[in-house]
Amino acid sequence: MKRTGIVILFSICAFVAHAQYVGSVLEAVDSLDDQPDIALEIINRAIDNNPDSEELLKVRADAYENLGQFDKAVADYLLLTQISPDDEILWFGLGRNQHLNGQLHDAKKSLDRATKLNPRLLPAYHTKTEILLQLNRSEDALKVSDSTLRIAETATTYFLQGEVYSSMQSWQRAEWAYSSAVKIDKGYIDAYIALAKIAANTNKATETLEAAESALAIDPDSEEALIARSRGLALEGDYLNAIEDATYVIGLNPNNAYVLYLRGTYYMSANRPREALGDFERALTFQPDNWRALAGRADAHAKTDNKNDAHEGYLHLLRIAANYPEKDAITQLAELQIFELFRENQPPVLVITEPEASENFEIYVSAYMQSIAIRGTVSDESPIKSLIINGQNIPVVFIGNDYEFAAIVALNNVNEIMIEVSDVYDNVNKKTYKLISTE
């Protein structure tokens, strides 16, 4: 009995001594909040002396996470989950750091373990939703998000459901979810920004500006909110202020290719193509494969009458179109712009359908005829300005894909039919038919 009591006494003393030691280490670490490297060194020495200390491993894992050393945090949490396999918080910490370290599938498994141990662990469900979105598993993310809402209707849960609906391009439901988030938390800046983006994508200027202003009231230097406001201003046609907002963001982050591209579009809309060209060029130095910036650069070249560079830009778009999900839209855009670039050089195509003419542009008419009916078609992608037959203006009617015309020409002292058609670019097509009299 005495021996057992002595063992228990020593165990208690050892426990107390360990607790006091850990307490002193934690106090030292807390006093070094602004010196994380020194704090980490102290923790490492303490763990060398106490390799199985759960408290110290937790502190070190948190320190690694705060320092962005997620791989090391993962290693500590793996040890911790072996020490306490039924602690859902440890499994959540492991999953969170695996997620931050890019180990998405491992993170999902760890978080599944956490929620199995505690079916109401909201942060674990939130992180699972984010992971499933990153894995492009929108339907699975929606199931997790729906189940999370049944546990608790929090601002974060609604926001993540908005992210799920956005990934599914279900904009009306996404808007409802983001709006629900800001009703719960008026300071949820990410939800306001998300609302502004949806409004901008659906060309709702007023709603874009309202949501962007709400976000900027929380953080006046928010790049995302300033970008959203610039888009709203552009939708209203206020390109000067849209450019000003974009310029401010570029001042904060000169390497922001998206904002450089946006400002380029604002300059184009404001008829300032040379400045736009500079922005598109800069955007492409950071994102060489940004097809929208490539198209913008070609457009800017066209606006500055640099047709050769514009033509080469559109041809480049045609060559790379197959590499993008929007390949059909890119191809159609490039082909249209190439046509627009050179359409002023394309004359109308004139075809006589009646009477029949020979290959030598000869028309046979009876000597007894006093007039002749002339009918035909004109093909031209450009609008037709005029059609003249033997000096007489003849109306044309657009039917189907072509223009059609009909005219009666008197044959008194007439030995030829001269037809001249021109489009709005003053491209002209002339044809002359000799009249061959027959008995």
pLDDT digits (tens, 9 = 90+) for 187-234: 999 999 999 999 999 999 999 999 999 999 999 999 999 999 999 999
* Per-residue confidence (pLDDT) for residue 34, from 0 to 100: 56
In a domain, 390, yes or no: yes
In a domain, 395, yes or no: yes
Q: Which has more pLDDT, 31 or 181?
A: 181
Least confident stretch, 83-92, 118-127, 347-356: 347-356
Residue 28 predicted with pLDDT over 70? no
Residue 296 predicted with pLDDT over 90? yes
Give the CATH number for residue 391.
2.60.40.10
58 close to 66: Cβ distance less than 8 angstroms? no
In a domain, 146, yes or no: no
**Mean pLDDT computed over every residue of the chain:** 89
What is the four-CA torsion angle of 92, 94, 99, 105, rounded to 10 degrees? -100
* pTM score, whole prediction: 0.71
In a domain, 271, yes or no: no
In a domain, 259, yes or no: no
Confidence of residue 33 (pLDDT cuts 50, 70, 90): low
Residue 4 predicted with pLDDT over 50? no
CA quadruple 378, 380, 381, 384: dihedral positive or negative? negative
* Per-residue confidence (pLDDT) for residue 50, from 0 to 100: 74
In a domain, 360, yes or no: yes
In a domain, 413, yes or no: yes
Residue with tokens 């979105």: 133
Residue 373: beta bridge partners? 408
Which tokens go with 11? 């165990």
Confidence of residue 63 (pLDDT cuts 50, 70, 90): confident
Least confident stretch, 27-36, 90-99, 249-258, 364-373: 27-36
> For the chain, how many structural domains are there in total?
1
Of the chain, the percentage scoring pLDDT greater than 90 comes to 70
Least confident stretch, 153-167, 279-293, 327-341: 327-341
Q: What is the mean pLDDT of residues 64-84?
A: 93
pLDDT digits (tens, 9 = 90+) for 156-199: 999 999 999 999 999 999 999 999 999 999 999 999 999 999 99
In a domain, 277, yes or no: no
- Which residues span the domain enclosing 357? 346-438
